[in-house]
């Protein structure tokens, strides 16, 4: 699989697989199948995988650790700290916590669950307004000196926080939502990353499935599907936002590709240091998404996607209000 470099020369596969959807709850009903998918991804040349202590909490990291047992040298694992999780019980108390002692204990737990003695990329999951960014970066700098972390990352951080962290410890990557229907990072964040030499790992590059074209105003979400709570996925918003899917279908028709492949190819075409992070539970979808690497959008295609998506007013917030407030977004 094609490789790309994030910040600090960190080379990874050009696409990354996120394990979040394989178990944000305590139970992972299809654990065996998900482990098989993670291993199949490695067989197909992917080496960059994403998890976090909060997914579960903890169960996701344990599953990822089991999946990659015996092949640690073939994978680069990113995990995250920063939520207020009791490090003795695993109870998520709500809110954020990036106090130095919390970061250290969180890392020790992550290393144990992942079955490794180092993490390739360690993200602060959300900025903690009560802990100076300089202190957070300082702790991770010490962990790097100890050999327990190789690279430092941030998630959903603004330009100011990125600069403050980078002044203490060079930041390798920012993970934030960025796609054809979430283009806000283009205003300040992406120029900051380019100036400082930091890579971008966009999550939800397919708009939580909407940009695949397989969801419409009539789609019914299961009771446990978080999208049913997201304003952008209300029936009215889906109907309004269908214009973006129609745009993707138009460009897909020019390139003998699927809407999902076009959405990923657009991100790949924006900057050479962007590595989209997608999630899927099915091997055929994994193969469809990774085939986006073979889609070569023309400059006209990119311009049409840029202008066309900018002209479509996207309806609905990307998270419920309570989540936005808790995350400081």
For residue 329, what pLDDT is reported? 54
For residue 28, what pLDDT is reported? 73
- Residue in 55, 123, 178, 319 annotated catalytic: 55
Torsional sign, CA 307, 308, 313, 316: negative
Find out whether 34 and 28 touch, Cβ atoms under 8 Å.
yes
In the chain (329 residues long), the average pLDDT of successive 10-residue segments reads 98 95 64 94 98 94 96 98 97 96 98 98 98 98 98 98 98 98 98 98 97 94 89 96 98 98 98 97 96 98 98 93 63
Q: What is the pTM for the complete model shown?
A: 0.96
For residue 182, what pLDDT is reported? 97
For residue 20, what pLDDT is reported? 79
Find out whether 174 and 193 touch, Cβ atoms under 8 Å.
yes
- Selection from 216, 217, 306, 207 nearest residue 260 by Cα: 207
Class for domain 3-208+271-296, per CATH?
alpha beta
Locate the domains of the chain by residue range: 3-208+271-296
Find out whether 262 and 305 touch, Cβ atoms under 8 Å.
yes
CA distance 80 to 45: 24
Active-site annotation holds for 178: no
For residue 321, what pLDDT is reported? 76
CA distance 77 to 64: 9
Q: Identify the DSSP state of 312.
A: S
Number of H helices, E strands in the chain: 11, 12
DSSP output for 166-181: HHHS---EEEEE-BTT
- Selection from 81, 35, 75, 77 nearest residue 58 by Cα: 81
């Amino acid at each position: 699989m094609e490789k790309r470099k994030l910040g600090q020369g960190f080379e990874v596969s050009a696409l990354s697989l996120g394990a979040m959807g394989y178990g944000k709850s305590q139970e992972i009903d299809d654990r065996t199948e998900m482990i098989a998918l993670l291993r199949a991804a490695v067989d197909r040349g992917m080496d960059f995988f994403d998890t976090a202590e909060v997914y579960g909490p903890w169960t996701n990291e344990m599953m990822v650790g089991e999946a990659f047992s015996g092949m640690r040298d073939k994978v680069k694992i990113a995990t995250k700290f920063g939520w207020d999780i009791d490090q003795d019980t695993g109870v998520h108390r709500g809110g954020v916590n990036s106090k130095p002692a919390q970061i250290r204990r969180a890392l020790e737990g992550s290393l144990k669950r992942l079955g490794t003695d180092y993490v390739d990329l360690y993200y602060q999951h959300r900025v903690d307004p009560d802990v100076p960014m300089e202190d957070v970066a300082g702790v991770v700098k010490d962990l790097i000196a100890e050999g327990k972390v190789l690279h430092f990352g941030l998630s959903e951080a603004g330009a100011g926080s990125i600069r403050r962290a980078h002044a203490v410890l060079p930041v390798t990557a920012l993970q934030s939502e960025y796609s054809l229907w979430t283009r806000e990072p283009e205003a300040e964040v992406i120029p900051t990353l380019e100036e400082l030499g930091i890579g971008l790992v966009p999550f939800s590059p397919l708009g939580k499935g909407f940009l695949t074209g397989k969801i419409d105003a009539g789609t019914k979400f299961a009771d446990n599907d978080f999208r049913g709570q997201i304003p952008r996925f209300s029936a009215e918003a889906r109907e309004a936002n269908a214009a973006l899917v129609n745009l993707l279908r138009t460009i897909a028709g020019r390139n003998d590709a699927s809407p999902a492949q076009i959405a990923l190819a657009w991100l790949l075409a924006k900057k050479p240091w962007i590595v989209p992070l997608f999630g899927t539970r099915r091997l055929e979808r994994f193969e469809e998404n990774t085939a986006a690497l073979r889609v070569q959008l023309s400059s006209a295609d990119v311009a049409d996607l840029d202008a066309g998506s900018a002209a479509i007013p996207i309806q609905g917030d990307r998270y419920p209000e309570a989540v936005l407030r808790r995350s400081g977004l």
